[in-house]
Amino acid sequence: MHPNEVRNPDNLRSVERIIASVVVLSMDDKLLMGRKDPTKGGVFPNVWHIPGGGIEDGESLIDAAKREVFEEVGITLDNEELTPLSGGYGESPKTLSSGEKVWCTMVFNRFEVRLSRNADDVQIKPGDDLVELRWFSKEDLSSVELVPGGHEFFVQAGYIAA
């Protein structure tokens, strides 16, 4: 958080979420991201996200990550290995499906999966949260509008140069 930022400026009800997300890389080294429908609420609309979301009760981080990738981009990761990456933390206002606006604090658990197919050969389908999907070259990442902290994460993880 930036030192001049005010946490929860509107004094909204606070909710905490544990997030599992996945950097999906194709064999030709492209990275899959999506954008949310800004009219449906959620956090960080109108910017590019890696697939991911909150874990469900009793669900492991790996199972949540695989489920989220399937739900959001239509890729089944039953036989692929997910490699843990650095975690993170974020805060944002969020509009719940009920219409209530809350302050959401998130703990990010990130993984990487490398597919054995080129991006053009991977069938993707927008799902329940991400309504637009696109493969990006690593060169594209520095000029893409990402979630807060996304650029720093991609630099730290070595996907783009500092």
Residue 6 pLDDT: 60
For the structural domain made of 14-139, what CATH number should be given? 3.90.79.10
Position 9 confidence tier, pLDDT thresholds 50, 70, 90: confident
Confidence at 3, pLDDT banded by 50, 70, 90:
very low
What per-residue confidence (pLDDT) applies to 144? 92
Q: Residue 86: CB partners within 8 Å, gap ≥ 6?
A: 110, 153, 156, 157
What pLDDT sits at residue 1? 46
Q: What secondary structure letter does DSSP report for 44? A: S
The pLDDT tens digits for 84-135 are 998 899 888 888 888 899 999 999 999 999 999 999 999 999 987 888 999 9
Confidence (pLDDT) at 26: 97
Cα dihedral 84→87→91→95 (10° resolution): 10
Q: Name the residue among 116, 111, 112, 113 with its Cα closest to residue 27.
A: 116
pLDDT at 24 > cutoff 90:
yes
Report the alpha-carbon distance of residue 95 to residue 155 in Å, rounded.
29
C-alpha triplet 147, 152, 154: angle, nearest 5°: 85
Percent of the chain surpassing pLDDT 70: 95
pLDDT computed for residue 83 by the predictor: 97
- pLDDT at residue 2 is higher than 50: no
Q: Please report, for the chain, the start and end positions of each structural domain, with discontinuous segments joined by +.
A: 14-139
